[in-house]
Amino acid sequence: MAGRKVVLVTGGGRGIGAAVVRLAAAAGWDVAFTYASNSTRAEETAAAARAAGAEVLAIQADVADAASTASAFAAVDQRFGRLDALVNNAGITGPRGTLAETPDAVWEKVLATNVTGAARCCREALKRIPAGGAIVNVSSRAAGLGGGGEWIHYAASKGAMDTLTIGLAKEAAAQGVRVNAVSPGLIDTELHAAAGMPDRVAKFGGSVPLGRGGTAEEVAEGVLWLLTDAARYVTGANIHVSGGR
C-alpha cells in the first residue's frame, strides 16, 4: 500500500514509547499511540511528533483491559484505515519486592499488562498488518537477569514476552510479518521512580559494562531499525540495547 505507513505504539506518552513516537514521526511514519492516564505528557509527545510532520492519534487506553484495547484498535481503523506496524511498549514493573513480599495481586496486574495485554495487541495487530509489516516487543534484560531481590514478577513477565516473540515470529512469518524484541537494560526513564527506586539508574549505571545507563532514544533507535526494511530478513530476534548489561 502506498502512502505514509502507520505504527501503533502502546505506552507512547512518556519514556521509551515517547522516544519511539518521536523517532518514527521523524522517519516518515504516521503514529497512533496509547497512554494510561497522563494526558499532559501524551499531548507533549503528540505535539512533538506533529511538528516532525506526522499525523498523530493519542488514545487513552489500558493495555490490560480487553475492551479498552479493542476501542484503541477501532480508533486507529477509523482515523487511518490501515496499520503497518505495532510496538508493544506499554509495561509496568509493579513495586519493588522479593518473591516473599510480593502478593498475587501484583503478579496478576503485571502479567495482565506485560503479557496478556501484549499478546492481545499482537492478535489485533495481525488482523490488520499486511505482508512486509512488523511487530516489535519491548522486553527487558530483566528476563535474562531474573530480577532477584528487586522484581522477579516483572522479570518473569518479560521472559514470557521473549517466548511470545520467538513463537509468534514463526506463526506470523506465514503472513509476511516479522516479530522481534528489543531488550533494554538500565534506561533513564520514570519507570524506576514508579517502582520506588528513583536513584536506580544513577546507583547502578557505573556497573554497566559501557559505564552508564542508557537513554530512551538509544532504545528507540533499535526499535525503529527493526521496523524498517533494513531488517527485512530479521525475525524472532531479540536485540539487547543494554550497554552490555
Q: Is 165 in the site for ligand NAP (CB under 6 A)?
A: no
Is 184 among the residues that bind ligand NAP (CB under 6 A)?
Answer: yes
Please state the closest distance from residue 98 (CB atom) to ligand NAP, in A.
19
Q: What are phi and psi of 12, to 5 degrees?
A: -95, 5
Contact pattern from residue 84 through residue 113 relative to ligand NAP, giving x for each residue in contact according to CB under 6 A and a dash for the rest: -----xxxx--------------------x
Rg (CA), the chain: 17
Residue 154 annotated in active site:
yes
Query: How far is residue 81 from each of residues 14, 22, 62, measured CA to CA in Å?
Result: 26, 21, 22
Q: Which of residues 15-44 bind ligand NAP (CB under 6 A)?
A: 15-17, 34-38, 41
148 burial class (0-12, 13-18, 19+ CB within 10 angstroms)?
Answer: exposed
Buried-exposed string 128-137: b where 16+ CB fall within 10 A, e elsewhere? bbeeebbbbb
Least Å from the CB of residue 164 to ligand NAP: 13
The answer to the question of residue 240 lying near ligand NAP (CB under 6 A) is no
- Which one of 27, 119, 145, 194 is in contact with ligand NAP (CB under 6 A)? 194
Q: Which of 45, 154, 208, 242 is catalytic?
A: 154
Q: Is 191 in the site for ligand NAP (CB under 6 A)?
A: yes
What cell was used for 231?
A: 531488517
Q: Say if residues 209 and 244 touch (Cβ distance below 8 Å).
A: yes
Nearest by Cα to 37 from 21, 60, 16, 56? 60
Residues of this chain that bind ligand NAP (CB under 6 A)? 10-11, 13-17, 34-38, 41, 61-64, 89-92, 113, 138, 140, 184, 186-187, 189-191, 194
